[in-house]
Structure 1
Amino acid sequence: MAGEKSLNELLKWSIENSTEADPSAAAAAPVVPNAPRTALNAEALAALMGAPSDAELMQAAVEHITSSDPEITLESKLTAFDNLEQLVESLDNANLLAKLGLWTPLLELLGHDDDQIRRMAAWCVGTAVQNNEPSQERLVALGGVEKLVRMALGDRLPMEKRAGAGEETTEESAAADREETKDVRRKAIYALSSAVRNYQPALDVAAKELRKRGEQVPEGIDATDMDAVDGIINGLKQKALNA
């Protein structure tokens, strides 16, 4: 785990740089000219300085984005989303989404009433699953592939309500009857493309969902066949462009 690695590096660095303060230890230790010392990576250095970890930053970003506080502006939420997207470019951080329980709120944001939030949610999903099998697996398990297919074909997803959050409003219920914007569709297609490449379960789900919705998708496509995957993705891009 990235956090444990950073702590280990921090501990090793601390030991190496405190040994000389103990005369007995220095006398007992063999002298190695120009012995290399452990270099601190950015996360370990942040821990030393008391800065928040990437995990804490990710949790804070999602809490900020999903907050109902009227004083938190849309611009502020989009900035937090941009920071989150950059954080999940790291495979370790992308895999933290599952460990921190952030996949569910992230996928719920695909149905947010603001199109800029939906666009950023799709962008984050696409970044998190790119060349990342554990995240691709999680996306499939949570029904995210079906959501992305619907968005890619132009359907607005309704904003989901968690248990105990009350009844869905008429406006939220009607969201699925409205068309998705082109910008959001493009990001959903990007996310779907990242999700299905080199991960057969995701491609199988996407292909099945596309066929259910009247799309002509050949049977038995191999997720490692980039030309075949490109054929599906390019077809969706063309539909979005012509919408």
Structure 2
Amino acid sequence: MESLLRWGIENSANANDGSNPPPAPRQDLDPGIIDMILGKSDAVLMKEDMAIAQDESQSESARIDALDHLEMLIEQIDNANNLEKLQMWTPLQKLIESAPTPELKMQALWVIGTALQNNPAAQDAYFSHDPLPVLTNFLTPSPFSTSQTRSKAIYALSGLLKHNAPAVEALSRSDVNGWERLREALQDPDLGVRRKALFLLSTLLIPSSDPSSSSASSSLSQPIHANSHAAALANPSRTDTSSPSLSALSTHGILPAVISALTSPVPSGPDGDVPGPDPDFEEKGLALLRTYALECNGQFKDGEKEALTRWFDEEKVKEGGGNGALAERWGLSKGEFDSLREKVTGA
């Protein structure tokens, strides 16, 4: 024991006599190495994608690939909300306004539409940039508004307008002409664009839940925390797109345009050489008429009643069955179709 104590004292003295070198200071890891180990954050990747998308020295394919990757990232709602924090809405808007090719514009519209889906916070952030005049302008066919671009423009409009009454009301602005352009889209040369425009109109017409209901009142009594849906929770009436849409159906001639598109379909195709009705368009059109007549208690004018009654009768003969066969063809229950027909015929 005594020898062990002596050894400890001797070695302790040697450790404190300054003969041993001090430990080397720690060297921080290179950030590049950290990125290689952990991977870059989504925010960094989003910035890199946007930088490439804006860089006119990059090839078109590289810019499109960057936007495609950005679109994948903002499928995650937190990343979509980061578009505002990272100040990316302005460059995205500039891309759809001035990108040199329809393909680049289309890809930017795709990013915008995905970011807006079911995201009131993103809707408000983007709406503050007054995008409607540019978005609705895409609905008019032109060399820079191909069928694919028009389709993605409706996708972006859908994301902005759904459950967003302030944006829907802005469609009536003279510099937007949104309702007129959606009406014209019902006769777009591309059937896909027609279907999307009709589906959007039908969706906007669906009544939302009554803000004065007990569930809505209960939600208002609860504290509202900052999140993607805070705006909708704070003001439940903002989701009421049905009222302005119902008014627009008559004041902007959309209802007669829908009825005409159903009863006397315009040939489709780039050269207008594809005749005949489209079953998908018909189903979407009947869904709009059902919502208009049965859920919104909309009224048909005499000429509209005559056109629909004649069409119903003609299609019943073609179908070779009764109202049940037509209802099934158009995705309605027999009761829904019977009620709609009664509203049309008044019988």
TM over 0.5: yes
Displacement after TM superposition at 1:200 (Å): 1.1
Greater relative contact order (Cα 8 A, min sep 6): structure 1 or 2? 1
Residues 1:73 and 2:59 aligned together: yes
Larger Rg: 2
Choose which of 9, 33, 52 in structure 2 pairs with 1:64: 52
Cα–Cα, structure 1 residues 226 and 120, in superposed 2: closer, same or farther, change >3 Å? farther
- 1:50, distance to aligned residue in structure 2 (A): 3.3
Secondary structure in 1 matching 2:80? helix
Structure 1 match to 2:79? 93
- Tell me how far apart the structure 2 counterparts of residues 66 and 138 of structure 1 sit (CA, whole Å): 20
Return the letter of the residue paired with 2:66.
Answer: A
**Separation in 2, partners of 1:200, 1:226:** 8
For residue 53 of structure 1, what is the aligned residue in structure 2?
41
Distance 1:77 1:179 in 2: 17
Q: CA, structure 1 residues 82+142, in 2 after alignment: closer, same or farther (shift >3 Å)?
A: same
Output the amino acid matched with 1:153. T
> 1:213 Cα shift?
5.4
* SS of aligned partner of 1:152: coil
Determine the structure 2 residue equivalent to 1:144. 131
Q: Using the alignment, how far apart are the partners of 1:100 and 1:211 within structure 2?
A: 29
The residue number in structure 2 matching 1:41 is none
Give the match for residue 110 of structure 1. Answer: 96
Deviation at 1:224, TM superposition (A): 4.4
- Structure 1 residue 131 displacement after superposition: 0.3
Secondary structure of 1:143's match?
A: coil
User: How big is the shift at 1:113?
Assistant: 1.4
The separation in 1 between residues aligned to 2:66 and 2:144, in whole angstroms, is 26
1:207 offset after TM fit, Å? 3.9
Match of 1:167 in 2: none
In the alignment, residue 195 of structure 1 is paired with which amino acid?
A: L
Write the mapping of 1:149-188 to structure 2, written as runs, cut at 5 A: 149-154=136-141, 180-188=145-153
Q: 1:200 aligns with which of 153, 165, 169?
A: 165
After superposition, where does 1:219-230 map in structure 2 within 5 Å? 223-224=239-240
Unaligned segments of structure 2, at least 5 residues: 1-33, 185-200, 208-238, 271-347
- Where 2:138 maps in the other structure, the secondary structure is helix
Rounded Cα–Cα distance in structure 2 between residues aligned with 1:224 and 1:79: 37
Amino acid of the residue matched to residue 115 of structure 2? A
Range 129-138 or range 200-209, more displaced:
200-209
Contact 1:151–1:180 under 8 Å retained in 2:
yes
Which consecutive aligned stretches of 4+ in structure 1 deviate over 4 angstroms post-superposition? 211-218, 220-229
Deviations 1:88-110 (A, max 9, x none): 11110000000000000001110
Tell me if the contact between 1:197 and 1:226 (Cα under 8 Å) persists in the aligned partners: no
Shift of 1:68: 2.5
Residues 165, 241 of structure 2: 8 Å contact kept: no
* Equivalence for 2:212: none
Root-mean-square deviation (CA), in Å? 3.5
SS of 2:100's equivalent in the other structure is coil
The CA deviation string for residues 123-146 of structure 1, in whole angstroms up to 9 with x for no partner, is: 111000010001111121101122
Q: Which amino acid aligns with 2:168?
A: L
Alpha-carbon distance, 1:182 to partner: 1.4
Segments of structure 1 that go 5 or more residues without pairing to the other structure are 1-45, 156-177
- CA distance in 2 between partners of 1:128 and 1:214 (Å): 23
Matched residue pairs, number? 168
